[in-house]
Amino acid sequence: MEGSECIFCRILKGELTAYFVYRGNGIAVFLDKYPVTKGHILVVPEEHYESVHNTPPCTAARVWIAASAYARFYREKLGALGVNLITNSGRAAGQEVFHFHVHVIPRWDYRRLSGLLSGRHMLTEEEAREVAEMLKGSEHLVDEYLESLGSEC
């Protein structure tokens, strides 16, 4: 599934809308349309790969490094109690969109992960604006993390 078929490729091409919070260095980050917590974002490579299992190592590294920068930003700048970084590879693992992505899910309380899914809701424009505001300044940290990979990746 590639190009016109893939929802994330269509978002990246501007054919479908999403709230981007970062774009550059081969990486894009946008808000999950059905967040389970406030600030639930997706980190994706600009290039299409089905899932982590067939993503080239350097591209996978870039995605995880960017996700790690958000974990730090949520924990250290925004006071999140925890953060989940999750990727699902394959339908059996719960993958729904077959374009590699890492979920970054900040945790603002102590609900169990299973309980989190009940909090899944449709993103509103108001919430999207609030999250974009929260994440102001995070792009510098993402750049810094990606640059730390050096020229080989």
Interface with Zn ion (CB under 5 A): 6, 8-9, 48, 99
Nearer to Zn ion, 8 or 73 (CB): 8
In contact, 36 and 133? CB cutoff 8 Å = no
Nearer to Zn ion, 10 or 38 (CB): 10
Nearer to Zn ion, 9 or 27 (CB): 9
Closest approach of Cβ 148 to Zn ion, in Å?
26
Cα separation, 137 vs 100, in Å, equals 25
Closest approach of Cβ 6 to Zn ion, in Å?
3
Which of helix, strand or coil describes residue 82? strand
CA-wise closest residue to 20 among 145, 108, 138: 138
Closest approach of Cβ 143 to Zn ion, in Å?
23
